[in-house]
Chains A and B, each alone.
Chain A
Amino acid sequence: MDPYSTEGELINIHTHFYQSQYQEVIDFDTSSFSAENELPVRVLKLRARIALGQAEDVVADVKGEAVPDLEAVGALAEYTLGKTDSALKTIEKLASSAADNVTVQVVGGTVLQAAGKSEEALALLSQHQGSLDAVALIVQIHLQQNRTDLALKEVTAARRWAQDSLLVNLAEAWVGVRVGGEKYQQAFYVYEELAQGSSTFSVPSLIAQAVCEIHLGRLEEAQSALELAVQKDPKNAEGIANLLVLNSISGNNTDELVESLKQANPNHQLLLDLEEKSSLFDKAAAKYSAKA
């Protein structure tokens, strides 16, 4: 039986993970779980800890473990700590030795994609056997490659066999925000359902809901949602970044938000991007000058 199916033991903890409720994942009581699920649970909990920024603990935790799953998680932790080379080496080794391991596929795919090796990530993930985790990751990779068409295809295919799974809904929402039009509203419903339920709430979901509202042009709603998100998690760089974008769209001054974003995550891609564009601007502007 699929441990992730509706009757499976792992369904709730897994759902928590993908709802970005990482603390709930860690706190999940798994003592009654059967032995065969011990490893997947451990992997999930470790990944949740990485997501919460406790990568060092994770590295220490998995040190010396020879199970491919744990090695992969260890590599992810290393990667988030900046040890990209050794992380990649581990993943590449795993990709050739244990490519049929779904954890290796998903976690390895994450690392590869994070390192910008999309093709390798897709190659690894293409070997999955009906794993929604892998599908979701594939969708995200396609979207990051700006291949909305492929992402859409992947989601449509997954929808056929995975029905109303959370991951498929999420993946569909991601694609929807890209495609736009009516899809904005559909994506909004997905996130709203998550962000408004007390058991499903997480800051990232709320942020995603606000993003949909921005795209829908409902700026005031987006504003209140994002303010709430930042209030709940003042260190959440994505919340600040989106708030910054929103304020910019509304024609407000964004200097303060830039500062707080710098504090939250000085390497946020918005900041890096703006910096790059700023120098690009200066370079391009230098080509012009008045005659007199």
Chain B
Amino acid sequence: MQSSPGMLTKFESKSSRAKGIAFHPKRPWILVALHSSTIQLWDYRMGTLIDRFEEHDGPVRGVDFHKTQPLFVSGGDDYKIKVWSYQTRRCLFTLNGHLDYVRTVFFHHELPWILSASDDQTIRIWNWQNRSLICTMTGHNHYAMCAQFHPKEDLVVSASLDQSVRVWDISGLRKKHSAPTSMSYEDQIARANQNQTDMFGNTDAVVKFVLEGHDRGVNWVAFHPTMPLIVSAGDDRLVKLWRMSETKAWEVDTCRGHFQNASGCLFHPHQDLILSAGEDKTIRVWDLNKRTAVQSFKRENDRFWVIAAHPEINLFAAGHDNGVMVFKLERERPASAVHQNTLFYITKEKHVRSYDFQKDVESPTLLSLKKLGSPWVSPRTLSYNPAERSILVTTPADGGSYELLSLPRDGSGVIEPTESKRGSGNSAIFVARNRFAVLNTANQTIDIKDLSNNTARSFKPPAGTTDIYFGGTGNLLIITPTTVYLYDIQQKKTTAELAITGVKYIVWSNDGLYAALLSKHNVTIVTKTLEQISTLHETIRIKSATWDDAGILLYSTLNHVKYALLNGDNGIVRTLDQTVYLVRVKGRNVYCLDRAAKPRILRIDPTEYRFKMALVKRNYEEMLHIIRTSSLVGQSIISYLQKKGYPEIALQFVQDPTTRFDLAIECGNLDVAVEMAKELDKPKFWTRLGTEALAHGNHQIVEMCYQKLKQFDKLSFLYLATGDHSKLARMAKIAEHRGDFTARFQNAVYLGDVEDRIQMLKEIDLYPLAYATAKSHGLEEECEAILEASGLTEDQLTLPTMGKPLAPPKPVVSTFKSNWPNKASSQSYFESALLGQVEGLSLEDESNTANGIEAEHATKEETADKLIATAGEDDDDAAGWDMGDDDVPEIDNDFVNVDSAEAGGAGSCEADIWARNSPLAVDHVAGGSFETAMQLLNRQVGAVQFAPLKPRFLEVYQSSKTFLPALANLPTLLNYVRRTVDETDLRKVLPIIPRDLEHLASNDLQKGYDSMKANKLEDGASIFKGILHAILVNAVSSESEVAEAKKLIVSAREYSIAMDIELARRNLGSIDEIAQDPAKVKRSLELSAYFTIPKIEVPHRQIALLSAIKVAIKSKNYNSALGFANRIIANGGSSKIVENAKKTKAQCERNPNDSIEIEFDQFAEFEICAASHTPIYSGAPFEECAFDGSKYHSSYKGSICKVCEVCEIGKHGSGLRLFS
């Protein structure tokens, strides 16, 4: 029997002989016990050696992981059993007791027990918690080679070189070691009376069955995970299957095939298979039911010593003379194909099924492929042809074959395919609606076949072709181990090629423009003409990939779902607990097939890659949207932005002042840098800020930095350079205060102040210099005074010849008055948009962009204001100097501030602060900042016609301040009325709002109701519009009030619409005029019917219905009237109205017909277009007013809302904000 191609080696290690192996139940780890006394811990996914444990003396034969704790156990030829912690990486303790080699060690699945088998012929059970031997099982009369717990029952099975297999009952042991409370009285009696003992009086573990049948020693034995079966392997080269019942056990069958000692065997955890390994260098797979050989795998030189299965996933490991191999028996990738919203895939049972992505529904089995290939080999690929609803399936069985099948319309259970066309080939894919290509690797041909399986043409692919993929219409992608070719089927030639090794899968993007070539560790993105765009490397194996609609590739590795952008940027989307094969991504859902071929949906957060994509595409709106709607933060995104050269965007994400400062400096955003430097207030930051600001020519910030740093010399020089004489003079004064003569001298030189220089020189007794200075400036009087003071005469002195006195140049331009103008472009569009957003904004058109920038300017001005304000706060400190206070200012002041009161000027009034404090339009109105208020309203609800809001604006504005009489003949003091009465922190105060929500609900709304009742509809309409305007410019104090406000908006809107409709009806003309014009009669009927539609209060709706009945009956539209009457009755309420309605009903039911056809279907669901007063049926397109929600036919898009008369219909904003 040939070695099967199906066995897939996943990992191999090179070492000395491996005698024991154990899989970690959760992590991709395997423990290997070596003959060289070492225990290795490998990560078989990464292929890395994690750790080595070397405390055993001599070969180690048995190892086992604990199921839940970070422990493992080992046993070796030093007779010792050791328990280790792989966390602390050391041996915790050693269990001594065996008198010979320990062959196997296993943990119990739930009790703190270890089972060991030893050459001392005993099998022992240890409690690893109290580290004691609790049971010794004797009976074997040769080496005990292997002993295992039953996975569920209280049984142990053991194998020995005495040729027997024994099954032990250890229920007694369990009872003995259970907590006493769990033992009933009866149990205790039963136990006391227990006389069933073995020959040594041992009641804890008794032999249940002795299985004899092997002719030589038995090396290994194992229980079946679920069935009462046992498998054993022996030196007689046989693998035997045993069955047991409650009372007896017997041999079922023997698997013959190994031609040397069989050293290990086990049951497949999920499938009806037995695996065995032997010294004949083979691993063999047997059918459990038929006991026939299914597969065998042979190694050239290495004898196999042990075999183990992963408890969860489809992985096995075998230890041999030179190490360990981890392998799979078969490919687990389910064959699948995606067409539009449907996934076609083949299950483990070889059933073809489909799955609807949208509905998240699996179809029943469409087709059974039981007969395809061999029963243990699953199909490799599936190709779907939507035109014919047929599939091509390939299987590697029998050297590779394909089958063309047509799918039934809908599945109804297991259906054998009625007719199928098959042939041999390794790959088969559809290349057109009626053509498919088949690759035959053995003879290296590609056949193009039609749907009746006839070869239409045939050609030789490039040498060494391993696979073919669809390559776009009329093209094939041909894969060889080193190159991918794009092959034109018509022209029969290669049109492009790309040197790339080891490509295994190709995934096309949804628009067919790009393809991802997947190899084991690389993803290469190419265009449809096979030009490489980017490539990326993964250390973990890449399993699958799929494209999202935006052109982002999502791919899965063994443990992650990741994304890759076209430019090669990639990152992790989420981790995976098990391997999956991605088939599609839609929004936040990634659809995939797991290894059991079940469709699964993974939730992902696409924010990060969407953001990066938007960044790459410079789609700032999208970015803005993402920033606003999701919490996209974290170091990684910041460093990404920084790395990619977008520090100004990164700035938006950072809270940490230091990072913010760094970023602000990097992108030259001085405003933010100043803000952060103030917050941090450390010399280091001021220095950096100063340097950066200097480079910008922003000498005002430079000045501030120098002040903070107390760099007097630099300040003086700065003032000299900017020509600020008054501040220079102040610096001179400061220098005088500080007693710093050098600085004073320097300032005097800068100022050209000769007297001060002389004065200073005199003060420090440098009379010669003072004299020279005076002399050179021609100050003869001063000269004489000095001479006199020093008691000398002029002729006693010799002076060098002097040039002209030095005078500092006069500033030509008053640079100090303002900064160097900067190019506005330093602010990115994005940033300005972000800064401008006091509020959500839509960046739809230019005007808005402009607004954003304006707002940004406003922010700038505010910052400037703040600067002044903060400067002002320290005025008095500076003023202190001028008053000549004795204490030296810089000792108790944090920093020097040379701005004195004269520069302080006026502060900002509270009204300005309101606008700064609040994102609500109403607060801007109260603060008098109508422009920004309008901007806000425009962005929030698309307000464009502000005239109707004028009374409200002025009402709010004039409520904002009072006039406090103070001193005679001076204007009164303005004071700002706050709604935050108890608040004194200027950063939190907010203005009072007249006619707040409560007032509107209890006054205006009632007035509106009254006018409805009193039939004063004109008044009513204006009252309700007034309510809408008042809410539009308003503020509430809690989220719940926001909800109330929304309710009020809705009800005002409905009343407004209702009244408009009725008024429109009344404006049709007098009764006579209407009666003469049939069109008007019809319209009148319609309007009266529509009047009943808006959701106004029930009593008012009754009025509307009554009015509608009246109009309808007058025109003999009894059917309509009947409908209205029914509604009145259904509404209930005032009995008089209901009575009348009942009468009308009775009257109308006699003749339930309409004499005039009108456009009003009382059974249809519709709303009234507030402009045309015609129905908008549900499902029909409509536009809305973003503020009041009134609906319009889509033709009204862009015009002014008829209800609020302020907003533009169909213009979507960020929504009205009433609460911040």
B-contacting residues of A (Cβ < 8 Å)? Answer: 17, 20, 22, 47-48, 50-51, 76, 79-80, 110, 113-114, 118-119, 122, 136-137, 140, 143-150, 153, 170, 174, 177-184, 204, 207-208, 211, 214-217, 238, 241-242, 244-245, 248-251, 254, 269-270, 274, 277-278, 280-282, 284-285, 287-292
Asked if residues B955 and A248 are in contact (CB atoms below 8 Å), the reply is: yes
Asked if A269 contacts B971 (CB within 8 A), the reply is yes
Which of B143-151, B647-655, B941-949 forms contacts with chain A?
A: B941-949
Given A146-B909, A149-B872, A179-B984, A288 contacting B966 (CB threshold 8 A): no
Best-buried of B906, B953, B972, B977 by chain A (most CB within 10 Å) = B972
CA distance A174 to B957 in the complex (A): 22
Residues of chain B contacted by A22 (CB below 8 angstroms): 968
A147 touches B872 (CB 8 A): yes
Cβ–Cβ contact B945 & A290, under 8 A: yes
Q: How far is the CA of A143 from the CA of B964 in the complex (A)?
A: 11
Given contacts A147-B907, A182-B982, A216-B981, 9 further A-B contacts (CB under 8 A): A180-B978, A180-B981, A180-B983, A204-B965, A245-B962, A274-B957, A285-B946, A291-B1211, A292-B1199
B975 interface hit (Cβ, 8 Å): yes
User: Is there an interface contact between A288 and B944, defined as CB atoms closer than 8 Å?
Assistant: yes
Q: Is B852 in the interface zone, CB < 8 Å from A? A: no
For B873, the chain A residues whose CB sits under 8 A away are: 149
In the assembled complex, the CB of B235 is this many whole angstroms from the nearest CB of chain A, namely 92
Contact of A288 among B876, B910, B938, B953 (CB under 8 A): B938
In the bound complex, do residue B977 and residue A245 qualify as a contact, i.e. CB atoms below 8 Å apart?
A: yes
Q: Does B593 contact A (CB under 8 A)?
A: no
A215 to B973 Cα, complex, angstroms? 14
The answer to whether B958 touches A207 (Cβ under 8 A) is: no
Q: Which of B930, B972, B989 contacts A277 (CB 8 A)?
A: B930
Determine if A290 and B872 form an interchain contact, defined as CB atoms under 8 angstroms apart.
Answer: no
Q: How distant is the Cα of A103 from the Cα of B970 in the complex, in angstroms?
A: 16
Across chains A and B, which 6 residue pairs bring their CB atoms closest together, nearest first?
A: A292-B1198, A291-B1198, A285-B946, A181-B984, A204-B965, A146-B907
Distance (Å) between the CB of A272 and the closest chain B CB?
Answer: 11
CA distance A122 to B984 in the complex (A): 27
B956 nearest CB neighbor, chain A only = A248
Q: Give A145 to B909 CA distance when docked, in angstroms.
A: 8
B963 contacts chain A at the CB level, 8 A cutoff: yes
CB pairs A–B below 8 angstroms (5 shown): A48-B968, A174-B966, A178-B975, A274-B958, A290-B945
| Chain A nearest CB, measured from B1045 CB (Å) | 16
Question: A291, B978: Cβ atoms under 8 Å?
Answer: no
Q: Whole-angstrom distance between the alpha carbons of A249 and B904 in the complex?
A: 34
Query: Does the CB pair B984–A277 fall under 8 Å?
Result: no
Contact call A278/B950, Cβ cutoff below 8 A: yes
In the complex, what residues of A have CB within 8 A of residue B944's CB? 288-290
Across the interface, which residues of B come within 8 angstroms of A178, CB to CB?
910, 973, 975
Closest to B968 in A: A51
Q: How many residues of B contact A (CB 8 A)?
A: 64
The interface centre, meaning the residue of B908, B944, B957, B959 with most chain A CB atoms within 10 A of its CB, is B959
Chain B neighbourhood of A153, CB < 8 A:
876
State the Cβ distance, A249 to closest chain B Cβ, in Å. 5
CB closest chain-A residue, reference B981 = A217
CA distance A57 to B876 in the complex (A): 42
A119–B909 Cα distance when bound, in Å, is 17
User: What chain B residues lie within 8 Å of A137 (beta carbons)?
Assistant: 967
Q: Which chain B residues numbered 914 to 961 have a C-beta less than 8 Å away from chain A?
A: 928, 930-931, 934, 938, 943-947, 950, 953-955, 957-959, 961
- CA–CA, A153 to B877, complex, Å? 12
In the complex, chain B residues whose CB is within 8 Å of the CB of A241 = 963
Are A47 and B968 interface neighbours, CB within 8 A? yes
Q: Assess the A274–B954 pair: CB atoms within 8 A.
A: yes
Contact of B965 among A207, A282, A288 (CB under 8 A): A207
Nearest CB on B from A252, distance (A): 9
Q: In the complex, which residue of chain A has the Cβ closest to the Cβ of B1211?
A: A291
Contacts of A114 on B, CB cut-off 8 Å? Answer: 969-971
Cβ contact within 8 Å between B905 and A251 = no
Residue with the highest number of chain A CB atoms closer than 10 Å, among B901, B944, B964: B964
When distances are taken between beta carbons in the complex, the residues of chain A under 8 Å from B947 are 285
Q: Quick check: A284 and B909 within 8 Å, CB to CB?
A: no
Q: Confirm or deny: B1136 has a beta carbon within 8 angstroms of a beta carbon on chain A.
A: no
- B950 and A281 within 8 A (CB): yes
Q: Determine the residue in chain B with the shortest Cβ distance to A291.
A: B1198
Q: Which of B963, B969, B1198 contacts A211 (CB 8 A)?
A: B963
Query: Is B1003 on the interface with A (CB-CB < 8 A)?
Result: yes
Partner of A238 from B930, B963, B969 at Cβ < 8 Å: B963
A269 to B978, CA, bound (A): 20
Contact A292 B1197 (CB under 8 A): yes
Are A119 and B984 in contact, CB atoms less than 8 angstroms apart? no
Chain A residues whose CB sits within 8 angstroms of the CB of B905 once the complex forms: 119, 145
B1175-1209 contact mask (Cβ, 8 Å, vs A): 1 or 0: 00000000000000000000011111000000010
A217 and B938 alpha carbons, distance in the complex (Å): 32
Given contacts A216-B981, A245-B961, contact A140 B906 (CB under 8 A): no
A148–B872 CA distance with the chains assembled, in angstroms = 11
Residue in A22, A136, A174 with the greatest tally of chain B CB atoms within 10 Å: A174
Interface contact B972-A238, CB-CB below 8 Å: yes
B928, B950, B958, B971 — which one has the most chain A CB atoms within 10 A of its CB? B958
- The residues of A that contact B1200 with a CB separation of less than 8 Å are 290
The CA-CA distance from A76 to B970 in the complex, in Å, is: 11
Residues from chain A with Cβ under 8 Å of B966 in the complex: 140, 143, 170, 174
A76 and B930 within 8 A (CB): no
Is B906 within 8 A of A118, CB to CB? Answer: yes
Q: Which stretch (B338-346, B468-476, B991-999) binds chain A?
A: B991-999
* Nearest residue, chain A, Cβ from B932: A284
Identify the closest chain A residue to B1207 (Cβ). A290
Query: Do the beta carbons of B973 and A140 come within 8 Å of each other?
Result: yes
**Which residue of A is nearest B960, CB measured?**
A245
| Residue among A17, A181, A248 making CB contact with B982, cutoff 8 Å | A181
Tell me the complex Cα distance, A270–B963, Å: 9
A285 to B967 alpha-carbon distance, docked (Å): 38
Instruction: Indicate if the CB atoms of A20 and B968 lie closer than 8 Å.
Output: yes
B950 pairs with A285, CB closer than 8 A: yes
| Nearest CB in chain B: distance from A26 CB, A | 13
What residues of chain A lie closer than 8 Å to B907, measured between beta carbons? 145-149
State the Cβ distance, A61 to closest chain B Cβ, in Å: 16
B968 and A50: CB pair below 8 A? Answer: yes
Residue B902, interface by CB 8 Å: yes
Contacts of A47 in B (CB 8 A): 968-969
Q: How far is the CA of A229 from the CA of B636 in the complex (A)?
A: 67
Which residue of A48, A254, A288, A292 is within 8 Å of B934 (Cβ)?
A: A288
Q: Which residues of B contact A284 (CB under 8 A)?
A: 930-931, 934, 946
Q: Is the CB of B965 within 8 A of A281?
A: no
A-side contacts of B1211, CB under 8 Å: 291
Query: A20 CA to B959 CA in the complex, in Å?
Result: 26
In the bound complex, CA of A278 to CA of B1208 (Å): 23
Decide: A290 and B930 in contact? CB cutoff 8 A. no
Min CB distance, B996 to chain A, in Å? 9
Is the pair B1003, A251 in contact by a Cβ cutoff of 8 Å? yes
Q: How far is the CA of A29 from the CA of B1082 in the complex (A)?
A: 88
- Nearest B residue to A136 via CB reads B967
Min C-beta distance of B597 to chain A, whole Å: 54
- Whether a CB of chain A sits under 8 angstroms from the CB of B169 is no
Q: How far is the CA of A51 from the CA of B945 in the complex (A)?
A: 46
- Say yes or no: A291-B1208 contact (C-beta < 8 A), given A137-B967, A277-B930: yes
Chain B neighbourhood of A287, CB < 8 A: 934
Whether B875 is near chain A, meaning CB under 8 Å from some CB there, is yes
Which of B943, B957, B962, B1208 is in CB contact (< 8 Å) with A214?
B962
Chain A min CB distance to B1140 (Å)? 39
B residues less than 8 Å from A143 (CB atoms):
966, 973
B962's nearest neighbour on chain A, judged by CB, is: A211
Give Cα A287 to B937, complex, Å.
Answer: 13
The interface residues of chain A lying within 8 Å CB-to-CB of B930 are: 277, 280-281, 284
Partner of A177, one of B945, B973, B994: B973
Closest CB-CB distance, A176 to chain B, in whole Å? 10
